[in-house]
Amino acid sequence: MGLYSTMRTSASGMAAQANRLGAVSDNIANATTAGYKRASIEFSSLVLDGGGSEYVSGSVESHTRYMISEQGARSFTTSGTDLAVKGNGFFIVSNENGQTFMTRAGSFVPNGSGELINAAGFKLMGYSVLNGPPSVVANGTAGLEVVTLGKLGLQANASTEGRLKVNMPLNAAVVLPANLPSANAATAQHSAMTSLTAYDNLGNQLTLDVYSTNLGGGNWEVSVFNRADAAPGGGFPYAGGAMATETLVFDTTNGQFTSASPTSVTVPVPNGANLKIDMSGSTNLAGNYQLLDATVVNGNAPEDVDRIEIAEDGTMYSVFGSGTRIATYKIPLGSVASPDNLQPMAGNVFVATSKSGEMQIGFPGESGFGTMIAGALEQSTVDLASELTTMIEAERNYTANSKVFQTGAELMDVLVNLKR
């Protein structure tokens, strides 16, 4: 029994070291694979109870461990669709059959259909925000769709947000009600006027004339008109009347908005959306009318997407030739309680197991998830020097176990041939 157990034990040692060499070879082969997580072999002993004075050798068991929670260094690229995660979380991807996986391999490029895929052919998943904020299911993939740049071609987007920050002159003359711009009379008077450009659903450009008028006592009327409706030669009366009118109230002791005052004007753009013009930060101080900021932050005429930008919170913007940015997708991250117990699959992707816990979905920068970095890739966690050292150790251990096996075999031959 002693010689037989010796040979059996040494054989298990050779098998364990062969597994170790297999992990080393896989690691070395993937030393330059983006997002690859190194594997290692852990050993545990199996001791047999001899039940007496005779020693019965056991064996060694090998267990594969994947260092999935270990983060690799980041290398920066010139592609805006190359993505890396700083901190906790995985990109959610799918295969051709619609099965979802997790990965840290973020080298995404558009395929012939405009879908963002990585080097292994897995498609990046995200939530569309073109129709409003996404509805996220924390423990499921409902609502996720393949991020497709092909949908972002020639587009026209209606304006929905704008900004107008000004100083209303404290000493401006007070205008009588009959002559206010909102009355739309030929005798209309105003304290100041600023024009903004906006777009409707078809990308038609229209000019909005925004009149500010002193009502006295810190009250200012803001009226918005469509310049296309102006009288011949421009100005009042406008054929369509005021598109929107709001009364802003300033504190006469500090020139700031009172707590009860509105700070924006909402304009219903014809064949477009409701354009909210944010006027927060405006003041009512002595001096001249001063324009501090006047922008329409979204909306554009029909044009092609010039480039893609992805923010740290996972929001993907389509940037048009005019510089307009439109949020198109929100890219989430997936996470599990025990990443090292995920099951690796071909293509550098992982699936959840009973040991890892189920996948939870969230957005970058929220609820313990890391942030997203565009124009960067996470490098492999393989350290070549360590792997070569491990390879030498495994080779020597394998050789030592083989020597024990050879010795046991030689002694077995002696025992068999004793009676000759």
3-state secondary structure of 395: helix
Average of pLDDT values for 343-347? 92
pLDDT tens digits, 203-237 = 899 999 999 999 999 999 999 999 999 999 889 99
How many domains does one find in the chain?
A: 3
Tokens (6 digits) for 380: 């492999």
Q: What is the CATH number of the domain that holds 201?
A: 2.60.98.20
- Beta strands 315-320 and 305-310, pairing class: antiparallel
Residues 295 and 181 in one domain: yes
Please state the pTM of the whole predicted model.
0.68
pLDDT tens digit string along 12-32?
889 999 999 999 999 999 999
276 and 312 housed in the same domain: no
Same domain, 192 and 124: no
What residue numbers bound the domain in which 20 lies?
Answer: 2-67+381-416
Q: Are residues 190 and 230 in the same domain?
A: yes
Would you tell me how many other CB atoms lie within 10 Å of the CB of residue 385? 7
User: Both 173 and 292 in a single domain?
Assistant: yes
For residue 280, count CB atoms less than 10 angstroms from its CB and return exposed for 0-12, middle for 13-18, buried for 19 or more. exposed
- More confident of the two residues 303 and 407: 407
Residues 310 and 187 in one domain: no
Sign of CA dihedral 187, 193, 198, 204: positive
Whether residue 148 is found in the same domain as residue 249: no
* Domain co-membership, 121 together with 22: no
> 290 and 183, same structural domain?
yes
| 390, 372: one domain | no
Question: Looking at residue 238, what is its pLDDT?
Answer: 96
Alpha carbon distance 385, 391 (integer Å): 10
Indicate whether 280 and 322 sit together in one domain: no
Question: In 200-345, at which residue ranges do the beta strands (DSSP E only) sit?
Answer: 205-216, 219-226, 244-249, 264-268, 274-278, 290-296, 300-303, 305-310, 315-320, 325-330, 333-335, 343-345
Select from 132, 164, 161 the least CA-distant residue to 275: 161
